[in-house]
Amino acid sequence: MKLLLHTCCAPCSVYCIQKLRKDNIEPVIYWYNPNIHPYMEYKARRDTLKEYTKSIGVEAIFEENYGLREFCKNVIDDLDNRCQYCYRTRLEKTVQYAKENGYDAFCTTLLISPYQNHEKLKQTGEELEKEYGIHFYYQDFREGFRQGQNEARELGLYMQKYCGCIFSEEIRYYNHNQAKPDIPMDLKTIKEEKPQIKKIENKEAYMDMLLEADPSKASIMKYLNDSDVYGLKLNDEIISLAVILHIDNSTLELKNLVTKEKYRNKGYAKRLLKHLCGNYKQKYDKMIVETTENNIPFYVKQGFDKYEKTIKNYFIDNYNEEIKDGDLICTDMIYYSKDLKKR
């Protein structure tokens, strides 16, 4: 098979190339990324990929287009959905080149990243396959994300800190540099109660809260009685819950993690999860989490960075009603794991 592999950067290509070669497919690398800004970032990623592909003896094609103005013009009116434009633009250019130059199929290294919208990428590739008559060679490379990143660091490759466009860089900067509001002088003497973590014994008393994360009571009851339940308590109120199921002598599974709506996006679930991982690592090696596409970035940031498996159509087969996570209609259940012993 003559395969054209759209490549976003050198670190993401490491495992993808290895996996394809293992499957007896010798890819041709295709660089086309007008979404990467500013120019010095674009240059750093491009030049790193040039050096890396040369070092491993893989053919690479570089389609130069530092497309700052064009990219901004096309996404500025709908920044929240800019990724769809980005996916479509890069993959369409890839499939056009593939068709014009006699390739059998195309693929992309974007499929390795747990931070990308995997299902949207797959959907875009399949749509382009129908439009251009070139096979979209789909591979879920996410299982090798951690391995590839570790090897990239060992090789000394340039490791970017954000996805690519100036808007993703702005989000990264904003998240790391938010100014903390000043506390009025008359309130500084008030001692704020610190959250406390306690084990919950009367588990079913919190069913309404658990149903916010898993809308099936029958599903919850299958694991609740055999699980440990912990709550994060603030001002005499349980505001966040975690349900941990013991799988075997070395493995745990996070079955439910939920925070009351008015306390969300304030780091309480993260604090609870970090505390539990710290405690459980004394006896256990690994914690698994089952999640939806939207929540993968959150869990990866908490150390759940090893892709385990996907159960296709899980929510369709196990729930009578359509399950939504934000704007996402849930179909597949995706499993990641965290090495509890890893520092």
**Residue 61: its H or E element:** strand 60-62
The pLDDT of residue 56 is 94
SS3 342: coil
The pLDDT of residue 182 is 43
| Rounded mean pLDDT, 54-64 | 95
The pLDDT of residue 138 is 97
Dist. CA 81–CA 83, nearest whole Å: 5
- Choice among 50-54, 174-178, 222-226 with the minimum mean pLDDT: 174-178
Please state whether beta strands 324-325 and 328-329 pair in parallel, antiparallel, or not at all (unpaired): antiparallel
- Structure token pair of residue 323: 């399950």
- Choice among 151-160, 183-192, 283-292 with the minimum mean pLDDT: 183-192
Residue 278 carries which side chain, given as an amino acid letter? G
Strand partners, 234: 237
Taking 90 as the threshold, does the pLDDT of residue 326 lie above it? no
Which band of pLDDT confidence, cut at 50, 70 and 90, is reported for residue 254? very high
Rg of the chain, C-alpha, whole Å: 23
- Taking only the tens place, the pLDDT of each residue in 309-325 is 999 999 889 888 888 87
Domains of the chain: 3-172 (3.40.50.620), 190-339 (3.40.630.30)
Taking 90 as the threshold, does the pLDDT of residue 273 lie above it? yes
- Choice among 103-112, 177-186, 196-205, 248-257 with the minimum mean pLDDT: 177-186
- Taking only the tens place, the pLDDT of each residue in 9-30 is 999 999 999 999 999 999 999 9
Average pLDDT over the chain reads 89
Closest alpha carbon to 340 in 292, 304, 315, 308: 304
| Rounded mean pLDDT, 55-59 | 95
The pLDDT of residue 172 is 60
- Tell me if 112 sits within 8 A of 145, measured CB to CB: yes
How far lies 129's CA from each of 124, 220, 315, in Å? 9, 40, 27
How far lies 4's CA from each of 43, 97, 194, 265, in Å? 22, 9, 54, 40
- Tell me if 259 sits within 8 A of 268, measured CB to CB: yes
The pLDDT of residue 174 is 56
Phi/psi-derived region of residue 244, left when phi > 0, alpha when psi is between -120 and 50, beta in every other case? beta
